[in-house]
Amino acid sequence: METTIRETFVLPSKGKVYGEPFDPHVTLRSMTTLEEMKRLSHGDSEYRTMATIIEDCLEKPLPISVYDLCLGDYQFLLHKLRVVTYGTEYNMTMQCPVCGEIVSTTVDLDDLEVHEFDEETFGSMELELPVSKKTITLTLQTPRMLDKVKEQAKEARRKTKDEYLNFEVLYGTMAFIAKVDGKRLDEIQLETFVRRLPMKDVYAIIQKGDALNRKVGMDAEVTAECKECGAESVVPFRVQSEFYGPTISL
């Protein structure tokens, strides 16, 4: 007897932000015990683990790895996998910005706004840096890129043995850059380039890259009402224990 649930969705990117556009329609089945066993395993990377689980639950494989999807598509699939498996109701704790109390609120995951790719509103992938005047061609981040940044920063800290240096700033900035003045740089050239950049240029890259990431995918904020003081406020959406392990009414 078929006991899994299947639903079809359209990726927020519409499959148009990749080298080769593809059909953005995907069908997900609900997770089974096997997927939960994988999720709870102690792997090196939660991104890689969840990308593998999503691929297992896809009815048909995508032309690229889920690990290489833009963050907007990847996070969208995480949310939809949760919806297909456990439903739309999600109990999340929040700190009320008005009274400061920690309270529980219920979010309907289907009510979260989804930003779909629109060429007109997405904007240019190019950025002229305010100080050096270099032209940067940006790239959307992927789960694989974020894992690489984490690994590079960890290795750099090990080599320098300086716990006070935040290498995520360096490697995170590098991850946003596809080209400099129309040219692709190798890893050493790119690191040298970023290390020499004025900080105003660095934060211009980070802010523009983050803004592009947010143009596609799930909204990172929810409107919630505090049960203590009654104030309605916008709070960051967070994945907590109830996301993958919800309390089920029996």
User: What is the average pLDDT across 135-153?
Assistant: 95
- Answer with the residue of higher pLDDT: 55 or 250: 55
The continuous run of DSSP H or E covering 86 comes out as helix 71-86
Separation of first and last alpha carbons in the chain: 23
Instruction: Output b/e per residue, 73-83; b: 16+ Cβ within 10 A.
Output: bbbbbbbbbbb
Alpha carbon 116 to chain centroid distance? 15
The continuous run of DSSP H or E covering 205 comes out as helix 199-214
In the prediction, which pLDDT does 3 show?
67
Spatial CA neighbour of 177 closest among 166, 185, 167, 169: 185
Phi, psi angle pair for 10, to nearest 5°: -115, 125
Tokens matching residue 174: 């590098």
User: Could you tell me the pTM of the whole model?
Assistant: 0.90
Cα(108)–Cα(87) distance, rounded to whole angstroms? 9
Whether residue 51 has pLDDT greater than 70: yes
| Residue 89 contacts residue 106 (beta carbons within 8 Å) | yes
Whether residue 138 has pLDDT greater than 80: yes
**203-236: pLDDT as tens digits:** 999 999 999 999 999 988 887 778 778 888 887 7
Q: Parallel, antiparallel, or unpaired: how do β-strands 221-225 and 232-236 relate? A: antiparallel
Query: DSSP character for 30?
Result: P
Query: DSSP character for 238?
Result: -
Check the CA dihedral 191-195-197-201 and report its sign.
Answer: positive
Tokens matching residue 148: 């690489």
The per-type count for the chain, helices as H runs and strands as E runs, is 9, 11
Mean pLDDT of the chain: 90
